[in-house]
Structure 1
């Protein structure tokens, strides 16, 4: 975790996942032989790693978006009576979400 350098968020995310998995496995396997102070130290490493993992995950998602050309926040959403595309402002002429044609429901046979 203390490794410095110009690593990508994706690489850091993989490293911190390996660290957390290793620490949990070590703690589970050697719990009887580790003192309580040692167990506490391992738990603290896992907590710090989890906080870093959240940060690295967000960065890794941004990197994947850049690699694959995905533009986040472009999906059309319906909020508070306006129809917007995520690129700022609502589209003129839309005051409700797009409507789909009604789907015919199968008719139940009459009860005899």
Structure 2
């Protein structure tokens, strides 16, 4: 079972803050997103939800971005060197947002294999 720590939560918030800057053109902000950790006997997993206002403000592709962010958070919460992961997470996120899935996977694979 995974455990979530204040370090994981701080990492997630810092990453979301940096993603806010990247996503300003579609008006996605941390006020539109709620981050929480869901603990179950099997595992802990990050749950990201968007408010109805956030969905209205963003209209297109918000669900894709939500899924991408959740996937990145779940991947990176396993790392101990979380602050070092932020630039890599942002690169992978930017690639996915622009539909460059293969590039994003390479970034993630290279980072986790190192």
Superposed pair shares fold, TM > 0.5: no
More helix by share: 2
State the TM-score, normalizing by the size of structure 1: 0.29
